[in-house]
A and B are shown apart, each in its own frame.
Chain A
Amino acid sequence: MNRPNREILQKAILYVLIAIVLSIMLLPIVWMGLTAFKSERDVLSIPPKIVFTPTIENFNYVFEKSNIIKGLVNSLIVSIAVIVITVPVGMFAAYSLARYNIGGGHLAFYILTIKMFPPIAAVIPYFVIFRNIGLLDNVISLILLNSLFNLPFTTWLLISFIREIPVDLEEAAMISGATRFEAFREIILPLLRPALAVTAIFAGIFTWNEFLFAFVLSRTEAITITRVMAGFFTERGILWGPLSSCALIATAPMFMLALATQKYIVRGLTLGAVK
């Protein structure tokens, strides 16, 4: 085979491989979208239908029969509260740890070990504690636990962003008479704004998607969107159609946020370790 032909063949193989990978990645997401608009008969059809008459009966069911509105509102409240708590707390901690290295790295590592903490191991004693003080089925308990489990992520991610800002900038400001805190407020904070936005979006996505705490700690009042999704198991069996439309409503906004912050997704998921 001559050289140009061989290169064309190589390219073709690569495109085929990419197509396979992308189809596998997209199949469950597409299937969710299709099932959400299928009538019950089409959901149960054998073989599975790809062409069918779309219906919004599943969405009607979800909005009439389940407390999805409450779930969406609660998920929004918990996510925003977690952002409001962890981003500033993480930012101050990150600045302090990045610039002073207090505790010689041990403190930063202790914060990181929370990431290793299996949530199920934390939620059992918390279940007893919240039960004793009457915080079960209360968004406050969800806000507290999600804040704790998101703090390592916000702190470490922001440490990595702050380390990219040269110390000289603050030192120059301090030589011209500013205090350290003024230097932080006037110089670091404006530079850090995009990083804070990225951190906030990720903390929001993680909290929105969280299920274990919501499942164990909420029943009706503090029900979140992921918890609503667990409610389609009835005596009649699993309501596949409504379940899919609920899943679509829950995941679609996260897909959009992810596409907006796509550049940072690896950085976010690796706590800033990989740029």
Chain B
Amino acid sequence: MTTEKMKSAERKLALLMLMPAIVLVFGLTLFPLFSAIYYGLTDLDLSNPLSGRFLGSFNYYRLLTTDSDFHQASMRSILFTIGCIAIQLPLGIGVGILLNQPLKGQRIYRAVITLPLVAAPVAMGQIWRIMYHYEFGIIKYLFELIFGWSPNWTADPNIALISIIIYDTWQWTPFIALIILAGLQALPTEPFESARVYGASSLQIFRYITLPMLRPYIGLALIFRLIDTLRTWDPIWAITQGGPGQATETLSFYLYRVGLKQFFVGYACAASLIFLYAVIVLCSITLRRLRL
């Protein structure tokens, strides 16, 4: 067999091996995507068999101009995402560094903080709902014990979103900590040794050596958290169901209410395409800026 022939045989094999994935991915994404684009241009309402008329861009016009629920849900998604990342990133870095100290029982610590990551969010969310309860909740009890006062975690519209952020921080800080830990263990030791030789303080070493060298790991943690916080749905359902009122209704939850509870599918599809577009743009910009 000549090399030319071998090359083309290899190409065929490579394509053949890719085929199932291509069929699965394109088959399962393109059809619903085009359906969503089409539905988004209609007034499709699953509770009304006469609906489905073509509206053109009216849904988009309404979403972008007059739908204050949509605007508030977008704001909440942004707040939730920024809140989660702003708390979890420094906390995660701190815990990661803590786990990297030469202490006894390392493996046990690592094992314990792995647990929240694999627990079903809907299960743990409901347990947190019990812990947040305004009568018999343990968190409320501990707060009253320590501070003499406790907010009404799930029923106060000013607090409810914070309660979800606290839950998310519990579940996902370990993820950042483990990434940082992996990063710390992969760092070369020479820069730290020479910095010590030249008399740098621990704080200087952290600020000018550790942090810059951890940058790619922090970037990865950031992009994964960004993708996941924007889509968070399960714990919101489990803890507050979007309430009280609409206080915890993020974009994900807004889409569920409009599309799958009120059945305004056409309108929800238009909104979900705006959401999808925003997520992809945001993630691409972040990916590019981090140069991962």
Contacts and interface: CB of A to CB of B under 8 A. Distances in A.
Contacts, number: 260
Given A24-B170, A124-B259, A209 B120 contact: yes
B195 interface: no
Contact of A121 (B111, B141, B272, B292): B272
Contacts of B192: none
A97 B128 CA distance: 42
A76 to B, nearest CB: 14
A48 B137 contact: yes
A21 interface: yes
Q: Which one of A28, A117, A216, A251 has the greatest number of beta carbons of chain B within 10 Å? A: A28
Given A11-B103, A118-B252, A148-B25, A209 B121 contact: yes
B119 A229 contact: no
Contact of A93 (B13, B17, B292): B17
A6 B121 CA distance: 42
A84 interface: no
Given A118-B275, A247-B124, A270 B130 contact: no
A45 to B, nearest CB: 6
B28 A144 contact: yes
B138 A122 contact: no
A21 B268 CA distance: 41
B178 A266 contact: yes
A interface: dominant SS: helix
Contacts of A121: 36, 255, 272-273, 275-276
B25 A111 contact: yes
A18 B109 contact: yes
Contacts of B120: 208-209, 211, 226, 229, 247, 250-251, 254
A91 to B, nearest CB: 9
A95 B21 CA distance: 12
Contacts of B32: 122, 125-126, 129
Contact of B118 (A43, A211, A254): A254
B101 to A, nearest CB: 5
B237 interface: yes
Nearest to B34: A125
Interface in B6-55: 9-11, 13-15, 17-18, 20-22, 24-25, 28-29, 31-33, 35-36, 39, 44, 46
B135 interface: yes
A120 interface: yes
B93 interface: no
Contacts of B227: 115-116
A52 interface: no
B265 A124 contact: yes
Given A89-B21, A229-B126, A15 B131 contact: no
Contact of A244 (B20, B36, B114, B130): B130
Contact of A47 (B25, B141, B259): B141
Interface string A1-35: 00000000001001101100110111111011001
A44 B99 CA distance: 37
A171 to B, nearest CB: 12
Contacts of A37: none
B220 A274 contact: yes
B21 A269 contact: no
Given A48-B136, A107-B22, A251-B119, 11 more contacts: A89-B24, A92-B18, A96-B14, A100-B10, A107-B18, A121-B36, A124-B265, A211-B120, A229-B123, A247-B127, A265-B118
Interface of B: 9-11, 13-15, 17-18, 20-22, 24-25, 28-29, 31-33, 35-36, 39, 44, 46, 95, 98-99, 101, 103, 109-124, 126-131, 135-138, 141, 170, 174-175, 178-179, 181-183, 186, 217, 220, 224, 227, 230-231, 233-234, 237, 251-252, 255-256, 259-260, 265, 268-269, 272-273, 275-276, 279-280, 283, 292
22 contacts: A14-B98, A14-B101, A26-B115, A31-B131, A45-B136, A90-B21, A93-B18, A118-B252, A122-B29, A124-B269, A125-B36, A128-B44, A209-B122, A211-B120, A229-B120, A244-B130, A247-B120, A247-B124, A251-B118, A258-B117, A259-B114, A266-B179
Closest 7 CB pairs of A and B: A93-B21, A121-B272, A247-B123, A209-B120, A92-B17, A258-B118, A125-B32
